[in-house]
A = this chain, B = another copy of it.
Amino acid sequence: MDLSRRLRSRGHRVTPQRKAVLEVLQENEGVPLDPEAVFELTRERHAGIGLATVYRTLELFRDLGVVLRVHLHEGSQHYEINTGGHHHHMVCVSCGSVDEFDGCVVDDLEESIREDSDFVVTSHCLSLFGYCPACLTAR
């Protein structure tokens, strides 16, 4: 997870903005953040950062494999730090909270698709929707 190394190896520069965004993402492991949230949190650290830079940085990080893009059931995208530990998400449709869960069942599926079809799977995206414990008891 050495950002400087990863950036330089691809010819990118190491800037305080990029370091600040990374810190925010690392400190929010387990909490997928949308660009606006990353912007607000990063501003506390690097006051003058622009929103466009946040968007650019998130796309760059995604390209570098530093972050993953998560699909929640909403319009805007969310990003989370890529810890290497493959997992998926349970999204509460009531309060919007996100839980992670390990044990991906898709690996086997990818395997069978590799055999049955000519489609080459390179990645997948799985999210479960429902109600979290808190929202269930609050009824």
Contacts and interface: CB of A to CB of B under 8 A. Distances in A.
A47 interface: no
Contacts of A101: 113, 117
A83 B129 CA distance: 20
Nearest to A107: B105
A102 to B, nearest CB: 11
B120 A136 contact: yes
Nearest to A110: B128
A110 to B, nearest CB: 7
A125 interface: yes
A128 B107 CA distance: 11
Given A105-B105, A105-B106, A121 B129 contact: yes
A135 B51 CA distance: 35
A110 B129 CA distance: 10
A2 to B, nearest CB: 27
A108 B50 CA distance: 45
A7 interface: no
Interface string A96-139: 00010101011011101100011111111111111111001000
B126 A130 contact: no
Given A71-B71, A90-B113, A103-B109, A129 B124 contact: yes
